[in-house]
């Protein structure tokens, strides 16, 4: 007779992750035109974003660190330089791809806006997931940095939750 322990342990892990996901809250940022769910209120910072076009634009970053896993929405304002959509998305993707081994590269969509989702893994086992879109001359990047060793209570399901709960404000 098989022990019920493995099944009970699996059920507890799933229930724990689901309970942790229930604690996530939506935060809305009308100035940047989006809402996203985080485990708690994200930190907001601004920094320069260097483009391949030789221009620097401002990037606003909304991030939260949950047990070593960083959930982040980064928005670079390209309204001054109006780049080609595909080139801007590819430039952001290539910057991440240069940091490790590409493990996932597919087209992605938010509403009717098409972009790209990539995942890169570095030599330490940290995975970097980035969904990249150029919408109204703003480069949106939904990033999750997932170290091999972390204590995030939702585990890797947080990557999917974070990306799927993101929405544009129209």
- Render pLDDT for 67-100 as a digit per residue (tens, 0 to 9): 999 999 999 998 888 788 999 999 999 999 999 9
pTM for this model (two decimals): 0.84
Task: Order the strands of the 34-38 sheet from edge to edge.
Answer: 25-29, 34-38, 167-168
pLDDT tens, residue by residue, 148-162: 999 999 988 999 999
List Cα–Cα distances, 12 to 5, 6, 67, 94, 159, in angstroms: 10, 10, 19, 40, 20
Please give the radius of gyration of the chain, using alpha carbons only, rounded to the nearest integer: 17
* Burial classification of residue 77, based on how many CB atoms lie within 10 Å of its CB (0-12 exposed, 13-18 middle, 19 or more buried): middle
| Rounded-to-integer distance, Cα 143 and Cα 139, Å | 12
Q: Are strands 34-38 and 43-50 parallel, antiparallel or unpaired?
A: unpaired
Q: Residue 158 is encoded by which pair of tokens? A: 């947080």
Q: What domains can you pick out in the chain, each with its CATH number?
A: 5-168 (3.40.1000.10)
């Amino acid at each position: 007779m098989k022990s019920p322990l493995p099944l009970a342990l699996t059920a507890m892990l799933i229930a724990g992750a689901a309970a942790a996901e229930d604690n996530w809250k939506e935060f809305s940022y009308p100035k940047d035109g989006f809402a996203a769910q985080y485990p708690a209120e994200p930190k907001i910072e601004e920094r320069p974003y260097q483009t391949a076009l030789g221009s620097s634009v401002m990037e606003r970053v909304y991030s939260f660190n949950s047990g070593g896993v960083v959930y982040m929405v980064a928005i670079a304002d390209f309204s001054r330089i109006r780049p080609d959509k595909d080139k801007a998305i590819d430039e952001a993707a290539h910057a991440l791809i240069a940091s490790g081994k590409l493990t996932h590269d597919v087209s992605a969509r938010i509403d009717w806006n098409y972009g790209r989702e990539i995942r890169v893994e570095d030599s330490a086992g940290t995975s970097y997931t980035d969904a990249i879109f150029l919408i109204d001359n703003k480069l949106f990047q939904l990033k999750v940095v997932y170290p091999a060793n972390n204590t995030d209570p939702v585990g890797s399901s947080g990557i999917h939750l974070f990306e799927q709960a993101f929405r544009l404000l129209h």
